Amino acid sequence: MHTWREVRSVIAHGRIFAVVSHVYPDGDAIGSMVALLRLLSRMGKAAQGILPCPIPSVYRFLAPSGDIRAYRPGLRNVIAGADAVFILDSSTDDRLGALFDLINSSGKKRICIDHHPGNSVHAEIKVVDTKACSTSQMIYELYGVCGKPVDLPAALAISTGIHTDTVSFNFLGTTARTHEIAADLLRRGVDAKQTWLHIYGNDSPRLLQLAGRTLSVLCTADGGRIAWIAVRERDWKALGIHPRDTESFTRYPLTIRDVGVIILFCEEGKRRVRVSLRALDRTDVGAIARALGGGGHSTSAGVTLHEPLSRVIPRVIKALRRRNR
């Protein structure tokens, strides 16, 4: 594994950089990208962020200036003209979507910064810290290595990444260090209430109506240890909701007494189901997701399966039961 010193050297010797992250970006993907783009700018570098798909509406407040753009063929020149490409918060090459082949064929040096276990991204320099609660936390540490203070926009971005990946400082490697960083970000001007409202206070009435339909058929398995919900394609289409906006639904079953594992199945097509897994007990849902072709952490993971929902549900529950025998 490589060191921050090598990352700093790449930045020092380059002038133009591209910064990319994974498909269906979450708060940590966007937060870490915005923070790194700010750092590169502070160091006198030119940089452009590119995602395989558009920024989810809930995170657009972090990047209002167009520093992060959704990929289209015309952006090939951004990769071609860069001295190096930063790959953030991605544990596998396929998570980069259409960007992977473009980056791979460009011949540009790749720097991967990530906190997921089992990282297999092809990169000349890799800094992977599985003890970090988020990639955003790692970018915070990089600011210190580069001797640059975290300004308010970067602080807000890092705070969002930490907030979302730890589920409000409750899961996924939340340590004393996590709270020390959060305290420093508050001192730098982050408004805790406004951050919470940006992330969690933007639900539409229609999204809550969809949540109601989904929760009305909540099911349990394995004596109540497993709780699962399924978002049907017909329901999100009827209400005009984008299926990716249902990711927040994983928080609802967390309040069930004695539940150990939560599963959200989202039917995104006739043969496409997004599966999101959360663990409150000792179940390693990351290992289960990886066995199914996905990835993630021991407490938070996911996979997209190209099968009908009627087959996906029993397959995933069977894998969970087998894992805990």
Quick one: how far is CA 184 from the chain centroid? 23
Mean of the per-residue pLDDT values for the chain? 92
Report the distance separating Cα 237 and Cα 220, nearest Å: 26
**Domain boundary residue, one of 200, 216, 237:** 200
Residues 252 and 310 grouped into a single domain: yes
Residues 45 and 168 grouped into a single domain: yes
CATH number of the domain enclosing 227? 3.10.310.30
SS3 string, the chain, reads CCCHHHHHHHHHHCCEEEEECCCCCCHHHHHHHHHHHHHHHHCCCEEEEEECCCCCHHHHHHCCCCCEEECCHHHHHHHHCCCEEEEECCCCHHHHCCHHHHHHHHCCEEEEEECCCCCCCCCCEEEECCCCCCHHHHHHHHHHHHCCCCCHHHHHHHHHHHHHHCCCCCCCCCCHHHHHHHHHHHHCCCCHHHHHHHHHCCCCHHHHHHHHHHHCCCEEEHHHCEEEEEECHHHHHHHCCCHHHHHHHHHCHHHCCCCCEEEEEEEEECCEEEEEEEECCCCCHHHHHHHCCCEECCCEEEEEECCCHHHHHHHHHHHHHHHCC
The residue type at 70: A
pLDDT tens, residue by residue, 193-219: 999 999 888 889 999 999 999 999 999
Residues 303 and 282 grouped into a single domain: yes
CA distances from residue 94 to 7, 52, 76, 104, 231 in whole angstroms, order as listed? 23, 11, 18, 12, 25
pLDDT tens, residue by residue, 100-151: 999 999 999 999 999 988 899 999 999 999 999 999 999 999 999 999 999 9
User: Are 14 and 84 in contact, with CB atoms under 8 Å apart?
Assistant: yes
The residue type at 51: L
Residue 230 has pLDDT above 90, yes or no: yes
CATH number of the domain enclosing 178? 3.90.1640.10
Report the distance separating Cα 111 and Cα 100, nearest Å: 13
Q: Which domain holds residue 235?
A: 205-323
pLDDT tens, residue by residue, 275-315: 999 998 889 998 999 899 888 888 888 899 999 999 999 99
Closest CA to 242 of 110, 58, 39, 43: 58
Residues 179 and 209 grouped into a single domain: no
| Residue 94: how many other CB atoms lie within 10 Å | 14
pLDDT tens, residue by residue, 156-195: 999 999 999 888 887 777 899 999 999 999 999 999 999 9
pLDDT of residue 325: 57
Residues 154 and 30 grouped into a single domain: yes
Q: Indicate the pTM of the whole model.
A: 0.89
Residues 252 and 271 grouped into a single domain: yes
Residues 53 and 110 grouped into a single domain: yes
Residues 34 and 133 grouped into a single domain: yes
Could you identify the residue written with the tokens 């340590």? 175
Number of domains present in the structure of the chain: 2
**Domain boundary residue, one of 200, 227, 256:** 200
Residues 187 and 93 grouped into a single domain: yes
**Domain boundary residue, one of 200, 215, 239:** 200
CA-based angle 99:31:109, to the nearest 5? Answer: 40
pLDDT tens, residue by residue, 40-65: 999 999 999 999 998 988 899 998 88
Residues 6+ apart with CB under 8 A from 138: 32, 113, 114, 115, 127, 129, 132
Residues 196 and 56 grouped into a single domain: yes
Residues 6+ apart with CB under 8 A from 42: 148, 151
Does residue 201 or residue 85 have the better pLDDT?
85
Residues 176 and 29 grouped into a single domain: yes
| Residue 122: how many other CB atoms lie within 10 Å | 13
Residues 156 and 212 grouped into a single domain: no
